[in-house]
Each structure stands twice: as C-alpha cells, then as structure tokens.
Structure 1
Amino acid sequence: MTPRPPRLTALGAAATLLAGGLLTAVPPAQAADSTRTATPAKVAAGNRTPAITPTPQSVKSRSDRITISPTVTLVAGATSDEPSLEVVQTALRRAGAQRVVRSDRPGRSGLTVHVGDSAALAAQHLDGPSALPADGYVLGIGAGRIVLAGKDTTGTYYAAQTLRQVLPQAKHPGAEVAGLSVRDWPGTALRGVIEGFYGTPWSHEARLDQLDYYGEHKMNIYVYSPKDDPYLRAKWRDAYPADRLAQIKELTDRAVQRHVEFTYALSPGLSVCYSSDADAKALVDKFQTIWDIGVRTFAVPLDDISYTNWNCAEDKAKWGTGGGAAGAAQAYLLNRVNKEFISTHPGAQPLQMVPTEYYDVSASPYKKALSEQLDPDVLVEWTGVGVVAPTMTVAQADAARTVFNHPILTWDNYPVNDYATNRLLLGPFNGREKGLPGKLAGITANPMIQPYASKIALHTVADYAWNDAAYDPRTSWGEGLKEYAGGDPRTEKALRAFADVNYSSALNKDQAPELAAEFAGYWKSGDAARLSSVLGALGSAPDRLRSSLPDRGFIADSGPWLDATESWATAARTALRMVEAARAGKGAQAWELRQQLPAQVAAAKSFTYTGLDGRKVPVAVGDGMLDRFIDAANAEHDRILGVSGRPSASTSLGTYQSNTLARMLDGDDSTYFWSDGAPAAGDQITVDLGRARDIGDITLAMAKPGSTDDYLHEGVLEYSADGQSWQQLTAFSGKPDVTATVDAGTKARYVRARATAGQDNWLVVREFGVVTQDGAVTGGPPAATGSSLRAASDGDPGTVYRAARAPEAGEALEVGLVAARPVRSVIVLRPAGSAGRADIQLRGTDGTWQTVGALVGPYTEVSTTGRTADAVRLVWSAGSAAPEIAEVVVGQD
C-alpha cells in the first residue's frame, strides 16, 4: 500500500485547533499573493488558454517560456510521492515528450521537471510553500524548468493536477508552454463527498471512478455511508463477508493513491443500546476490522433515528427521557469510541458524528447535552438550516459552531436526489456565501443516486470549497461542462443543452434557464427560425452525448432522461410549427399538428427507470418549462382560431418542485399547486378565462392533508375584464375553503385570489374553479360513455364529443350562442380519420336555419361574414358514421 501522506496527521491537529476556535482554513496574511484572482484563472499554454480547476488562489504569467523536449528529466524531491510522479509523467507524455527519465539530478540537456523540490524554485525567483496551509503548493514554469513544490505530499500531488491541465496535448516534442507561477491553497481543510443517500448504492466500479475524479479535482475526503448498505445500519454489528471487505480495502488503497481520505461511517442508531458494554465493543471491533485494511478516518452518524424511543430499558434507566437524555447517551457512546479506539490508534483522524438534530441552529436540550458532554475534538456534521438548505451563510455556520460547540463539517445535501428521484440535478452548487468555507472544518456534498451524472455538480462543489472568493456558479458550471465533454465543442453544446433542462433544484430555482430565455425571446420577437434551431439542437443532444461523451457511465446513468429530452424536444418543435402554421393562416396544417401533440407529450412522459425497490420511477425533464411552452402554444393556436381555450393560471409566487399551477385547474382535488415560499401581502394567483365571459360561482380550495396551514390566511377574491381594473367579490380570513356567489350578468376574463397580509406558511391550492355561462349544446346523437355533448363546444379542442351511435335522419348537434351576434366564420375541428357527413347551418334573427357549408375532412372553415345568428348546428346525413367533434368555433366580427 502506498505510504499515507503526512497531511493526514496534520489534519488531526487542525481539527483540534478548530475545536478551540484558534485556527481557520484561511492562510496567514504573508502567504497571500497580490494577484489573487477574483474570476477563474486562465493560463497560457502554447496557443490555448485552459482553465485551471479548481480556480487557483493566485496565478501570474511570466515573460519566459519552456519547451517540451524529446527527453524530459524528472527529479523527485522531499514532498513527492509515486502518485504525483505518475500524474506528471503522463502529462509530459501527452504534451509530446518521448522519454521521461527519473533522476536524482537535473538533466544535462532538455527540460527538467522538479517534483516536490522547494529549493528548485529559487532559480525562478519564487517563494516556497512553507507559509501555506496544508495541501497548498507552488507551481513554477519558466527559467528553463518546471517546479512543483507542495507544502506536503498532497500539495505536490495537487500541483501535478494543475500541471496536467496547463500542459498542452501534442503528438511530438517541441510544444512551447508560456511561463507561469501558481501559488495555491484550499479554502477549507476537508473537501469532498459523502455517499449518504437513500436508494441504490453506487457500484464498486463507480466508487473507484469517483475516487479518481476527487483526486483530479483536489477533493480529499470520501465518506462511505450509503443508507442501504445493511452492514452500516441494520446489520452494523455483523462482520463483512470476505468479498465485501476486500472491496472496501480496494477503495481504501485507491483513495490513498488519489490523496483522498476514505472515511468509514457506521450507523448503529436503529438498534444500539448506548449504555451497553457489548454494543460499544461491537462498534469498536467493527472499526478494528476496517482499520486493519487501511482506513484511518471513522464516523458514527446518528441521523434519521428516533431519540424519543430507547432501544433498551437500561438506557432509560441511566438517562431518563427526552432530547437531553438522548444527547447525553450519544455523547457517552461516542466518547467511549474516541477513548477506546481513536485515541489508541496512532494516525487515526478525528472522529466524525452526525447528530440526530442535524438540520438547524436552534438551541435545544439535545444540542446542549452534546455541546457540553461530547469530546471537543469530535467533528459534528450539519446540513445547514434545513435538510436540503437552499442557502448557507457565514452567520448560520457561526451559529452552528456556537450551538454545537464543536468544529462543523457540512453534510451538504446537494446534488442528492433521493427526495426527488424523478430528477437529475445537474445545476451548479449555489446559494453558499463567500467566506463560509473558512468557518468550517470542511465541506462534504451528498451526491445523486447516479454517480457519473453527479460529477457535473461535484465539479462546482470542488471549485467552491477550494476557492470560494473566486467562485461564480454559472462560470464554474460552464467550465465543468467543457471539461466533462472532453474539450469537444459540439459535445459540450449538447451536454449544456441537456444539463440546462435538468438544472433546477432547491439550490437553483430556475428550471432550464437558457431554454426559458429562448422561449421568452420567441414569444417576444416571433423568431421561429432561432427557436427551431435551439429545439433541434436539444433534440439531437442525446444522440451526440451517446456517441461522443467520454464518460460512458454518464450515458448509463442518464438513459431515461436522455430519451425523455429527445421526445420533449420533438413535441416542442411540433408545437412551434403548429403556432407558425396558425399565424400563417394554414388552419388545416395547424390542426393536424395540434392533434399530434397529445401522443408526443404522452411519449415524453413515459420514460422510467427501476428504483431499488423495483418500482418504475417516471423521469422529469424541463418540467414547468417544456410542458408550459406546449400549453402556451396550444393556447396561442386556439386564440388565433377564436377558441376561448381552457382556463390558464399565473402567480407572483414560485412553484415547489413539480406542483405547478395547472394542477389547480385539472378538476382533480388530489393534485395541487404548491408555492415554494410564504405569500407576502399583494401576492396573488390568477385564473385567465381566455376572454371576457359571463361567470358564475367561484370556489377556492386550499391546504391539503399534511399541510393544513398552507393557505391564504387573509385575502380577497377579485375579478377583472381587462386585468387592470379589479372588483372585489369577497374577503376571507382563517379558512382554507372559500366560495363566492356572483351576480347574474357579471362578465370577467380574470379572477384572482390576493393576499392582504403576509404569513409564514406556504400556499397550497387544490382547485380554483370559476363557473362560466356559455351557450348550451343540445341535440344528438347522444354522447358515448366518457364523452359529452358539451365537449363539442367547451373551449378546449383537446376534448372530443364522440357519439354513441350513427345519426338518424334529421338529427343535428346544436350550439347556442347565448344571444344573437354577427358571425364571421364557423370552424369545425374533428379528430383525424373522423367520418360522418353534415351540413353547417346558422339560425338567423328570424328563427330560420340557413345552410352555409358542409363538413369536409378534419378541418372545415366556412366564411359567414355579414350574417347574424344566435345558434349554429350540424345537421347529420342519415347513414353516416357515428360523428366525432373536437370543437365548433364560431368567429365573431
């Protein structure tokens, strides 16, 4: 096994100082460089300027340069190790070197690379790394040499990772590399990943791959804590089978090679008896078996358990009941582990623990007991304010440090998706304040069930944790996509389009921000060619990624989402073509396209993957954006035709996950709109009826089981014909279900519920119903089961009147117009393939019916300019097939 880097022993001292409030992760003032970057650094390398990731603290260009010679001499210094030397050798060969020779002295000719040799920096007039924190390094390129000098072996390894990014790729010697000096150090001591999600654990191969990725991105900790590994939780006392133990050893060895600390996290809380000598021994014995294969860092997570129910009577007798008793019991067990195992094993790193109250900074008896009784050198893991914290601030970290009175290691629940298993979370690490890493013992991010897809977000986590002062989420995200695409522009473009429609999360509120901007631009400018190109690129992105993305694991992880993306893009392009056809007056073509959309949308929603329990999990892609565009396109098509359309909705509030506004208009009381925050005074939800109509009673059903206080506590119902001038219908207070009776003859296009006071609870609306007074639909033939006569003229071409039988002689379907009015045209929409013949007639003011045309195909449009009527009817020809009508549209002058 490769010798363990000295940094690991220094880490224990750092944690002890953090516990006493004597050390931060910020380097001494004298270590700072005047050129510390505020934006991601670009470094000249030949004719290209690659980004260094994570963003270095300081980069300076030099006026000189070096040349990659055919033979390069590699000199190993005090802080070099075999992994660092291997990274450097590989990078040099990729840069064109034909031979890399290891020696204890510089070569007589050609390029010499000093690895782990601070003294060699003198020729470049660069200061050494002695003043830097652990893991810091200096990289110098110039004065005829390359020098990598780490504060420790890990620092030199990180210098090698930076050099790997700086050197060009060339097939032959002779490449010139611009002079450069990098002085760099991490923003916090621990930076990495905790595999701590519920669901299918990662495969062994995926974990090995992840450890390689962490080393490349200067992350130095991996916490092994999958919730569904039985030997960590339900069977925590049991020894591992030999094959499983061998896998953990292989992971540990790989972690050491990549300068990553493998942390073994055992979770006994489901069954442990805290006062039991036997259980304490079982925990220590389990740790010993893991120590024997090379692990040096251990954790005891006590999250997601009950601390109000003891697992044994002895604990209740010893500590009593309540949160304070639980905190005392947990501190007792952890202190035993600390004393009997950690303290007796030289080289062991500080013990880590996850408290049962891990998600806030509120004082409590439980936290008080832990803060006072838990050994001071134990690291406490904390998720922020919330299980999935949208934001995390310096003030919150200070509060956590105060309330727990221990060094804080964040368990940041991003990009984990075990609470949203239908999604890939591919947006950047966001909402974390600058300065936060320096307040922490470290940052660990809980990734997705999909390990390879997690790398896009983890790239940004690594960037933030290393240099938060220079971190910009969108810039880091873009650089991560470029890197992950292997530097190929077409693959990068495809990956960016795919990541964009899988962007939103608790940390990134905007769904598909780049596609959303394109949709908004189209509705504003009407530039169909541009949007068609964007949607075409989105639709072809999955094929491009499948053929060209270097990391094949990503394709396996993302398969159903790739399929769904392709299908949603197809549906969106159909919707776009439909709108353009309608705008061009090509009604028949537009109607044909509109009828294709339901099947295309259903196909896009059909993709699933199989979860750990065998259930099929439907996947979501760009929801709230792609589906909303298609809904808006349908509405635009219908508007152009003169169809009032089904009601739509808008709000000043955000939306929580997929609980969109459409759910409060679907007639299903079990679905709902759910805001992502509490309403303030003036916030509103509005129903748009499509045009001014006679309205009847209004119902507003809010709250839901499990969220009984999520409703507008103080508000009014109002209506408007133009969206500008509003009339109050009723005020309401303290009740989730509201009804309003409307005076006969009231006309409105808009009805809204508006908050008149702020509140703490979010808002759930199960249904927002507005009765409209439209003309009656009568006649026949009678509708088949599941259909209705009303569907022939309900403002929604998506619903269809289907007759139960063929028409009889003289039978007709009549649509009333409420009152006589000028009629410009009659359009009859029928499903593709519908049969049945009929004359189209209008009833004039004298009560007589006049034939104005006949049904022809799925789309029939008859001009009736100059006529006034109070009804239209379809008079069926006897013997024709059972009719089907999607919508009878009566155009007004």
Structure 2
Amino acid sequence: MTNNFKKLLLAVVTMPLLCVSISPAQSAKDTFLTKSSSLPDPSTLPSIFPTPVSIELGKGSFMLGQSVFLVSPAMVGSETQSLLTKVLKDAGVQTIKTVKKIPKIIDGIYIVIGTQEEPYVVDALKQITNTLDTNTNGYTIASKLTYKGALLTLVGKDADGLFYAVQTFRQLVNRAVLPAIVINDHPALPIRGTIEGFYGKPWSMKEREKHIHFLATVKANTFIYSPKDDPYARDRWRDPYPTATLKELEKLAKVAQSNHINFVYAISPGPTVCFADPDDLQALLRKFSALRAVGIHSFYVALDDIEYTKWNCELDSITFGPSGAEAAARAQAHLLNAVQASMKEIDPVAPPLIMVPTEYYDAKESPYKAALRKHLNPSIVVQWTGTDVVPPAISISDAQAATKAFGRKTFLWDNYPVNDYQESSGRLLLAPYIRREAGLSKELSGIVSNPMNQEIASRIAVTGVVAFAWNDKGYDAERTWKFAARELAGWNKSVSEALLTFFDTQRLAPTFGTHPWQAQAPSLKALLDNVEDAIANGNPASRNQAIAQLAEHAANFAHSPEIIRYGIVDTAFITEAWPWLDAMSLWGKALESTAAGLKAASQSDSEAGRYFEEAKKLAAEASAIQSVPGATRFEGSVKIADGVLDRFIAIAPSLISF
C-alpha cells in the first residue's frame, strides 16, 4: 500500500467523524489551538484603537469556540457583565458557564474578570504575567495557552478601567483566532469626549443616546450637553424645564452612567445674567438642583459668545465698577465661585464646576485673563479652544501659554469637526484629526470635540479626538481614520473602501479665515496630478496607462455612493449624507466622461468633444445640489473634492488636442 493511498484511506475514514456535531463543552476543547498546532498563519499583533500604552504578543493562538467558562466576582458592575456577555455572544460563543474558580488543569477557555481589589483576579493574572497597570482607569488584559485550553484575564484598576478592558476585548474578538497577549493600558487624559456645543439644529435625544453608546466604544468618558438652541439652557435659563424634558434628560443621564460616561449639563446665562444678583445665583442653583434630582451631578457654566463691554444690570455696575473686560472677569469669578462652593457643600464628591470664559480663543495675556486667573477658584476647570476659535494646529508651547494665562491647565474645547460657521457651509468635515502635538496630554486637563449637526458623520473625527486624548504619543491619525471607516461600515471591506473614497472628498478643514488647516481630497489630487504629468510627458504608453487608471478610479468613484447606501450599518448616516452622496455620484459620472474624453483625444477621436461636454453638464448638475434644509446653521451647495475634481474636469479638454 503506497503512502498516498494510506493518506486517502485515512481521510475517507475520518471525514465523517469530523462532521459529527459536538457539544459546547467539547467545542471549547476541539476548536482550541496551541502553539504546537498547525496554524494557517503565525500569531500576529492585533490593531487596537485607541492605541494601547503597551501590547506584546505571547506564544501561540486560540479560538473561543462555542463554550467558555467565566470566573466573575460579584463586584463587577452589571453593565460591564452585560457588555462582556454581548461581546462573547457576538463572537459566536453559545454557552457561558459561570464558575467560582479556575481549575488546576485548565481544560477549556477560562475568562477571569474583575478589578485589582479582588485578590483572586490578581492571582489569576500572575499565572500569565507580572505586569499590572495601576494607573487610574487603567487595565490589563493577559492570556496564555495551557495544555488543553487557555486562560484569559481582564483586570481593571477600577470599575472604569475594567469597562475599558472589555471594550478592548470587543475589538480583539473581531479576529477568528486570538493571540496569546499582554496589554497594559490607561488614558493619558482624565477627560475625553464631546461637547454638543454647536449652533443650529440640536441633536435629538435619540441621537444623543446613540452618540453616548458610540463614545463608550472608543473609551471616551465625557458628554457635555450644551446645545446653543436649547432655550432652557440659554434664553430662558432661569425657567425650570418642562417635566417631559426633565424626564428625557434623566434617561440620557442613565444611559451615560451605564456606559461609564460623565454626563455634564451646561447652562449659558451670559446674555442676561446679573452677576451680583443673589436671585440669579439662586436661579442657577435651582436649575442644578432639579437636574441633580434626576441623576446629573456634573455642571458647567458657559460664558462664551457674549458681550462683556456692558452690564446687564445696574447692580453689576455698582458692585464691580464700570463695564469692561477686567470687571467682567471679576464678576464672572464672583458668581462661579459661589456656585462651586454651593456644589461642594451639597455634593462633596461631585466633579468640579467647568466654565468656558468669554476670552476662550487664544492664550494672549489680557486684563480679562489676568483678573480671571487672580479671582477664579483654582478648582474650577477652564475651557479653551486653542490658538483660535478653529485652530489650524495646537502645540505644547500653546498649551503652556494657556496654563500661564488662565492659572491652571486648561480643558481643550476643540472646534473640530463642528460645521456651524459660514466657511463650512455645504461641507461634511471628515478629515483625520491631525496637527495636535504629541505630548499635549501633559499640558491639558482634557480634550472634547465639538461635533457637527450630523451626529453619525461626526464620529469619524471624534474617534480621532478621543484616540489622541487616550494616547497622544501613540496616536496614528491615518490608521485611526481608517478604523473609524471600518467601524461605520460594520467591518465590510468594500463598504469601508467606498467610505474612504467619500471621506477623501470631504477632507478640507476650514478655519474662520481664507486658509483651511487641512487640504481637500489629497488621494484624488495625487491621482489626477499623475494623469496631468503623464500627459505632459508626451510618452504615449505612460499617457494611456494613466488614462486607463483614471477610468478605473472614476468607475469606482461613481459607484461608491451606491455601495455606501446599500451597505452601511446605520442608515441614519445615509439620511445625514444623502445630498453629498447624490452629488458624488454625478461627479463620478462626470469624471468617467472626462476619462473617456481623454482616451478619445489620445486616439485623435472626434468623439472626445462629446464626452467632455457630457462631463461639463454632469458637473453643473452636481454643483447645483444643496445641503439638507434646516440641518445646519449655514446652508449651501454641497462640496465634493472642490478645487480638485472640478478643476481637473474643467481643464481636461485642454490637455490633449483633438
């Protein structure tokens, strides 16, 4: 009997055995892979976002299979337990059996979860590694292979850290095979998240709830409720909320708490407040008391975008003297110090009061900043938007200057990707979060992003902001940007690629001036520049190759909106982006006609003119599409790779004579 025949006979005999269904308990063993198993690929380092402080591969890999054993102390929060259960179920685990301890011989997949307060959890971790992240909100994930199973530990420094550990585990199990690994991780900044601080149409309560769930997945911990168009937070700030609205805020606060997000309520009394009036102080405290009664314990007073050259009441003139910047700072400090003192007395463990000053947009020394620095309670947190309202960059030295100006480390309110100003009309701001210097975490007390009116579209940039705040030194803007696309696409490759093509058309990041801080459509521009260069070179082979590549890209470009529409996980994104997707489809067809015209012109075909005229017509149709009525503060024609795509289509007929 030949060796080949023996192998064939063995395969025939054993194949039915391999096809027999197995019990969940057997599955944990039979799907297990050890370092000596025959793996299709070697163990590889996974990508985790935000980037962990430390991540190291061990030896070998394993699969969760259909059944796992869970060792979970009673101190693990119900929300963390629920999240872990969902992660395991989504990964294909059918049976989760809770046990009191791990056996001496680990025969299956055992997961131990808990905080560092549980000695048993720490002892289990020591079977794998001697490292342990002891920083606030830190966590350690460690796993190793055993003879017939695997041990995996999720250990948090505290309850928040443990929740973050499970969020990282959620990303790990996206892979079919898990590597033996040790991750030690903690946030660089204690405050990370978003501030709903834009003008125009506010988010709905449903959108806020969805956003808070999203923030949890990227390990943010802060959501500041500060919509400029909430009348009870600004124009009618003295009036109590209607009962129905108060109940909605209570529900939102509970959602935030279950996601380990600090829900901060911001009020904007500046346009009408009398700083010296005890009645206005009591009105603020009553508003906070009503919100505290429904579970909100973190508060914020916004004094941005107000006039400080005149008083709102005669009492302020009597108390603080003639109006002006310096007097305004003293008056603001007087009111805020009283609010902070009252908050501390009522709720000693509540986070300190946050404020945004009237001069929030630079770090230049001024009478206002000097007075605020001198008189404001040092425990009150001060927000700052950087070197401008929409800063093109923020450096360590900028933050140090702000610390000096305000007398404390500032809390960065980054006005990106907000699109509530004239220069952003017709735009979705979908560029990566860049030009913030690594090392800023040492000079700031936190970072929050001010998002767009479009909640889901904002997640692309917010993912970057939070990832930077978590680990600014390990932050990779481009890779995080692509991760955000994959998350939005539900990890579908073709949808992710279509989204990135779309995002490239929305990469221009404007400022309040004429010069944007990020350029438009860099990937598309590089391709179009290559076509121009190839044509200019006069080499027929290079020219024809470049035009063929253009035609291929144009077809993908034109087809991308359809892929996005039919493949996106959250269809609300389609509602937000539909006019841009419509315009992109037309621009893509215009680019296809342009490529056809260049090909015809390259072959001295008189049909070239017809193709170019068709491209011109399609470009005009695309340019006429308007943004969603009422969705943003400033409306206008939607922009698709403007300055890049429109320019190329316009000049293409002149590149080759025909």
TM range (shorter): 0.7 to 0.9
Q: What's the CA shift for 1:93?
A: 2.2
Does residue 1:502 correspond to 2:506, yes or no?
A: yes
Tell me the residue number matched to 1:520.
529
Contact 1:539 1:570 in 2 (8 A): yes
Which residues of 2 match residues 145-156 of structure 1 at below 5 A? Answer: 145-156=151-162
Residue 157 of structure 1: which of 146, 163, 181 is its match? 163
Q: What's the CA shift for 1:69?
A: 4.9
Partner amino acid for 1:538? F
Which residues of 2 match residues 304-453 of structure 1 at below 5 A? Answer: 304-320=305-321, 321-419=323-421, 420-453=424-457
Cα distance in 1 for partners of 2:298, 2:525 equals: 45
Q: TM-score, normalised by structure 2?
A: 0.86
Contact 2:415 2:449 in 1 (8 A): yes
Cα distance in 2 for partners of 1:350, 1:459 equals: 26
Does residue 1:479 correspond to 2:483, yes or no?
A: yes
Cα distance in 2 for partners of 1:515, 1:615 equals: 27
Tell me the residue number matched to 2:10.
none
Tell me the residue number matched to 2:578.
559
Partner amino acid for 2:96? V
Cα distance in 1 for partners of 2:476, 2:634 equals: 38
Contact 2:395 2:436 in 1 (8 A): yes
Which residues of 2 match residues 227-238 of structure 1 at below 5 A? Answer: 227-238=228-239
Do the aligned partners of residues 67 and 539 (structure 1) sit closer, same or farther apart at CA in structure 2, a change above 3 Å counting? closer
Cα distance in 2 for partners of 1:547, 1:583 equals: 37
Give deviations 1:577-632, integer Å, cap 9, x for gaps: 22332332223x12222332343122101222102589853211111011111121
Tell me the residue number matched to 1:40.
none
User: Could you list the runs of 5+ residues in structure 2 that have no partner in the other structure?
Assistant: 1-39, 115-120, 511-515, 535-542
Does residue 1:593 correspond to 2:629, yes or no?
A: no
Cα distance in 1 for partners of 2:158, 2:75 equals: 5
Does residue 1:622 correspond to 2:641, yes or no?
A: yes
Contact 1:94 1:169 in 2 (8 A): no
SS of match in other structure, 2:359: coil
Cα distance in 2 for partners of 1:472, 1:154 equals: 24
Say which structure is richer in strand. 1
Tell me the residue number matched to 1:222.
223
Cα distance in 2 for partners of 1:599, 1:49 equals: 50
Tell me the residue number matched to 1:579.
598
Choose 233-242 or 62-71, whichever is displaced more: 62-71
Cα distance in 1 for partners of 2:265, 2:611 equals: 57
Residue 110 of structure 1: which of 103, 108, 111 is its match? 108
Cα distance in 2 for partners of 1:383, 1:616 equals: 24
Cα distance in 1 for partners of 2:336, 2:414 equals: 23
Contact 1:264 1:299 in 2 (8 A): yes
SS of match in other structure, 1:479: helix
SS of match in other structure, 2:224: strand
Q: Percent identity?
A: 36
User: Could you list the runs of 5+ residues in structure 1 that have no partner in the other structure?
Assistant: 1-43, 171-175, 642-893
Cα distance in 2 for partners of 1:578, 1:479 equals: 37
Tell me the residue number matched to 1:166.
172
Tell me the residue number matched to 2:459.
455
Cα distance in 1 for partners of 2:333, 2:125 equals: 49
Partner amino acid for 1:75? V
Higher relative contact order (CA 8 A, sep 6+): 2
Contact 2:357 2:383 in 1 (8 A): yes
Q: What's the CA shift for 1:105?
A: 2.8
SS of match in other structure, 2:111: strand
Cα distance in 2 for partners of 1:70, 1:599 equals: 57
Give deviations 1:278-331, integer Å, cap 9, x for gaps: 111000100111111111111001000000121111111211221000000000
Residue 539 of structure 1: which of 537, 546, 558 is its match? 558
Which residues of 2 match residues 51-130 of structure 1 at below 5 A? Answer: 51-77=47-73, 80-106=76-102, 109-116=107-114, 117-130=121-134
Cα distance in 2 for partners of 1:219, 1:563 equals: 33
Q: What's the CA shift for 1:458?
A: 1.3
Cα distance in 1 for partners of 2:301, 2:74 equals: 36
Cα distance in 1 for partners of 2:455, 2:156 equals: 30
SS of match in other structure, 2:555: helix
Choose 246-255 or 83-92, whichever is displaced more: 83-92
Tell me the residue number matched to 2:13.
none
Do the aligned partners of residues 631 and 581 (structure 1) sit closer, same or farther apart at CA in structure 2, a change above 3 Å counting? same
Tell me the residue number matched to 2:204.
203
Give deviations 1:375-412, integer Å, cap 9, x for gaps: 00001000000000010011111110111002311000
Partner amino acid for 2:229? D
SS of match in other structure, 1:596: helix
Contact 2:238 2:283 in 1 (8 A): yes
Say which structure is richer in helix. 2
Does residue 1:632 correspond to 2:651, yes or no?
A: yes
Cα distance in 1 for partners of 2:41, 2:580 equals: 37
Contact 2:189 2:441 in 1 (8 A): yes
Give deviations 1:717-774, integer Å, cap 9, x for gaps: xxxxxxxxxxxxxxxxxxxxxxxxxxxxxxxxxxxxxxxxxxxxxxxxxxxxxxxxxx
Cα RMSD of the aligned pairs, angstroms, is 2.0
Q: TM-score, normalised by structure 1?
A: 0.64
Contact 1:96 1:169 in 2 (8 A): no
Contact 1:450 1:557 in 2 (8 A): yes
SS of match in other structure, 1:73: strand
Partner amino acid for 2:393? T
Cα distance in 2 for partners of 1:169, 1:574 equals: 41
Do the aligned partners of residues 79 and 53 (structure 1) sit closer, same or farther apart at CA in structure 2, a change above 3 Å counting? farther
Partner amino acid for 2:78? E
Tell me the residue number matched to 1:885.
none
SS of match in other structure, 2:562: helix
Cα distance in 2 for partners of 1:168, 1:265 equals: 37
Partner amino acid for 1:564? A
Cα distance in 1 for partners of 2:227, 2:42 equals: 44
Contact 2:616 2:650 in 1 (8 A): no
Do the aligned partners of residues 94 and 49 (structure 1) sit closer, same or farther apart at CA in structure 2, a change above 3 Å counting? farther
SS of match in other structure, 1:380: strand
Tell me the residue number matched to 2:629.
610
Contact 2:426 2:635 in 1 (8 A): no
Give deviations 1:463-518, integer Å, cap 9, x for gaps: 21111111122222122222322222111110110000011104752210110011
Cα distance in 1 for partners of 2:496, 2:285 equals: 48
Do the aligned partners of residues 500 and 79 (structure 1) sit closer, same or farther apart at CA in structure 2, a change above 3 Å counting? farther
Does residue 1:138 correspond to 2:140, yes or no?
A: yes
Cα distance in 1 for partners of 2:42, 2:191 equals: 34
Q: What's the CA shift for 1:572?
A: 2.0
